[in-house]
Amino acid sequence: MEFLFSNYPPVKTCFKTFSDAFYSLIPQASRLDIAVGYVSSDSLMELKRIIELNSNINQLNLIVGMHYFEHFTKVQYKAAMVLNDFLANNQLGEVKLVHAFKYHGKLYSYSKDNRPFAGIIGSNNLGSIVESGARVYESSLLINENQIAFQMKDFIDKLSNTASKNISELDIDTFKTQNSILEGHESAKKISPEQFVNISAKLTDIKFEVPVKTEPKSNLNCYHGKGRENMNTHLVKPRHWYEAELIVPINMRKNEFYPKGTPKGQPEKQFKVYTDDGFSFMCQVNGGEEGLWNKNLRSSGDLTTLGKWIKGRLENDGVLTIGDVITDQTLIEYGRNTITMTKIANSEDWFLDFGVKK
């Protein structure tokens, strides 16, 4: 057995994180059985992509313990249905909800050739398999004793067979009010109405219409790309559903007012952006040609912050179902295909506008 800790400063330990352990066991397994209290939309998409990219996993069964009673957001529910349909259509497993009582446990069981060989138990809900942007310190225990692994798998089977139903068999028609997906994200801050008014009063005439491109496996669609393969274990780890960047045209990047980046190997310049829906976060530009180095516009540190701002807007508007490819038609239905980037006076800050009038 081995302890697993989040290892956020200042409480760093010598033990692995939950995410390290979760992914390290996947190349050894042919089946995953998971029973958790709560799920997030991006973690559900992470599971789907794990199965798509790692052919050794031929069975995934997920049991969700709290959302039947405490409800999903609409985005979470759509993501759960997308995963369930994918598993069912490919005879790979299913998504079930506990309906007999609230189940708050967190169990992850790994099997090979129908024999459980390891498991994880602790405080980590399914959202812990992705970088969510919210630092919550979790503790778990990695189990690799056969007897305990069998007992964990046996309990999950009983929970599935006696207290759970497939999500498609249950009437789910009440949802939580959908908040902005950036709320609670540590890299983004909600600004006050007073701040917003003050910033709006300082907008200059320097502005760019940055195109929102729809390449099927890059830009906003990085999730559908190849993934990142560990050449030692051959685990292919998915790109995060909300990972995104904007590729800026060369004529725009050459403009004297557009932000310039730094060559590879040098510290990257950061600048703050404020958004039309009242958030702020740090961005940077990098990549490209000598003297510019500003081809890619992305959020700093956490590549999902910008993606959550853009894709979350599309999801909440109902034009993007989580897991789908963003196409030109998606943007037509939303109402625009550019983001207006406006310089804020007397600063290095910018204002981003992706709003539409309905």
> pLDDT tens digits, the chain, 358 residues: what are they?
999 999 999 999 999 999 999 999 999 999 999 999 999 999 999 999 999 999 999 999 999 999 999 999 999 999 999 999 999 999 999 999 999 999 999 999 999 998 999 999 999 999 999 976 678 999 999 999 999 999 999 999 999 999 999 999 999 999 987 657 888 788 999 999 999 999 999 999 999 999 999 999 999 999 999 999 999 999 999 999 999 999 999 999 999 999 999 888 888 889 999 999 999 999 999 998 888 899 999 999 888 999 999 999 999 889 999 999 999 999 999 999 999 999 999 999 999 999 998 6
| Cβ–Cβ under 8 Å, residues 63 and 98 | yes
List domains and CATH numbers for the chain: 2-169 (3.30.870.10), 189-353 (2.40.330.10)
Under 8 Å CB-to-CB from 315, ≥6 apart: which residues? Answer: 41, 75, 181, 321, 322
